[in-house]
A and B are shown apart, each in its own frame.
Chain A
Amino acid sequence: MADETSDGVELVGVQVNEDTCIGAGQCEMLEEDTFYVDDDTVIAGVIGTGMLPRDRAQKVVDTCPSRAITIVEPAAEEEQ
């Protein structure tokens, strides 16, 4: 799923584990075009392309209080 923007920044995919998400919305705070906390379930989901520059994706991963967000590594994607 690795991709690049026109200026060569590596993009990676992100995913949310719905079982561990507590809906704190820290992902939505950092990247509102990529994460959206549902009003009814109060669980975060991925919206848009679901792709972020690796450093920004890593910041979201490190900030999530329930460690519910992971980066989808290109190798893992190819195996599927």
Chain B
Amino acid sequence: MSSTAAVNLHNPAVFQAGIPHEVFAEMRATPGLTWSPEHDGTRGFWSVTRYDDLVTVSRDMSTYSSGVGHIQIYDIDEDALEARASMIDMDPPVHTRLRRIISSAFTPRHVKKYKGAIQARVGACLDELEAAGGGNWVDVVAKPIPIGVICDLMGVPEQDHNYLIGLTDHLVAGTGAEPLEPTAYGNTTELRLLPFNSPAAWAMSQYATELADVRRAAPEDDLITKLIEAEIDGERLATEEFANFFRLMIFAGNETTRSSMAHLALYLEQFPDAFAAAQLDRSLIPALTDEVIRYSSAILYFRRTVTAPTELSGTALDVGDKVVMWYCSANFDEAYFPDPYAFRADRPTAPPHAAFGGGGAHFCLGASLARLEIAELISDVLNRDLSFASIGQPEFVESNFVNGIEHLEVTL
């Protein structure tokens, strides 16, 4: 493999115009894993691009660890790893105990209870867009819906939603080229100790800690209360553990669905046939929803670190090797998704796409919630027969970690 783009996947600029599909197609066609050499003093890494290999890595959590090393490509010190650790940075059985505190709120049966509230949020956003004759689809539709829904579940008051949107925007920007000032939000912590090396992570921890104090005094039926009251082996979560959990939930529940919803507007314009098919046959909406999720691949990758010598697809791996699972490649693996770049309302949903992960303990906790939010947005768009008179060029978030869109101007 000699493609310059392939070896430069650590560089957000490679993703500046969206997923570089031709680069990943070439990597998938090349036997073994692709090696990206050391850069900026950081150890090189192996790229996993095929669906089969990604599933293997995802499910073999003892060989491919989330708890050893960072889950992003860049390396961080041990104390920094510890300072930011949430369940996503852990392996079973600790991961399992933490996940179970809240996982019952995200089962399909529970998620259905949020349907009315989600419909109301979707309706209000589309009303606003229609009243204005258009606008930035990201700001008016894609951002407010998911943050509103996850904040409702967590128990974050409505008036603070925009503050949290702002913070997560900075966290994502932190994976790109231009970080915030180190002292932003009054931060005093060394940046290397903060998730995404961003002062916004510090601000979110502060916010979480204050809200936890409010709930300790007056418990509510929400996930914040569940988290502060939960006991693991007889002990409650420490302040930092709670704050890290909160940050994970807000980031994961917000940024990901937002990206898929942002791309949804592009797909409406690019693939009208798929939406026309669902307009005629509403039973296609679940499959169309998963197609939006597959095609947008909101999280581009997660990394694992090898804990024992092994071999994958003929490539020998050693202890400490970094293995990067490119979901945005596995989701277009020709072997599993025939005609992968076709956007279809009737694509079979089994085997499932890898946008919620390749299985194993870290399978996306919010999968059912994300599906419901996106399905409700599609339904309402179809109900209104929404179409765009014009749509601008998308401005992508400069990141090799999330497939975000910053700005997408539409007129109705």
Instruction: Indicate whether A62 sits within 8 Å of B109 (C-beta atoms), given known contacts A22-B363, A42-B104.
Output: no
Q: Mark A28-46, 1 if CB is under 8 A from B, else 0.
A: 1100100011011010000
Nearest CB to that of B372 among chain A residues? A29
Instruction: Indicate whether A66 sits within 8 Å of B351 (C-beta atoms), given known contacts A37-B109, A42-B104.
Output: no
Chain B contacts with A in 94-117, Cβ cutoff 8 A: 96, 99-100, 103-104, 106-109
B contact residues, range: 20 to 34
In angstroms, Cα B351 to Cα A77, docked, is 27
Instruction: Indicate whether A28 sits within 8 Å of B107 (C-beta atoms), given known contacts A66-B359, A67-B59, A67-B359.
Output: yes
Q: Does B340 contact A (CB under 8 A)?
A: no
**A-B CB contact pairs (8 Å), 23 listed:** A23-B107, A24-B363, A24-B367, A25-B107, A25-B109, A25-B368, A28-B107, A32-B108, A37-B108, A37-B109, A40-B104, A42-B103, A58-B350, A62-B350, A62-B351, A63-B350, A64-B359, A65-B357, A65-B363, A66-B59, A66-B359, A66-B363, A67-B359
In angstroms, Cα B368 to Cα A32, docked, is 13
In angstroms, Cα B106 to Cα A37, docked, is 10
Chain A contacts with B in 4-26, Cβ cutoff 8 A: 22-26
Contacts of B5 in A (CB 8 A): none
Query: Number of A residues contacting the other chain (C-beta, 8 Å)?
Result: 21
Nearest CB to that of A27 among chain B residues? B108
Name A's B-contacting residues (CB within 8 A).
22-26, 28-29, 32, 36-37, 39-40, 42, 58-59, 62-67
Q: Mark B237-266, 1 if CB is under 8 A from A, else 0.
A: 000000000000000000000000000000
B60 nearest CB across to chain A (Å): 12
Whether the Cβ atoms of B107 and A42 lie closer than 8 Å is: yes
Whether the Cβ atoms of A65 and B359 lie closer than 8 Å is: yes
Q: Does B196 contact A (CB under 8 A)?
A: no
In angstroms, Cα B351 to Cα A36, docked, is 21
A63 nearest CB across to chain B (Å): 5
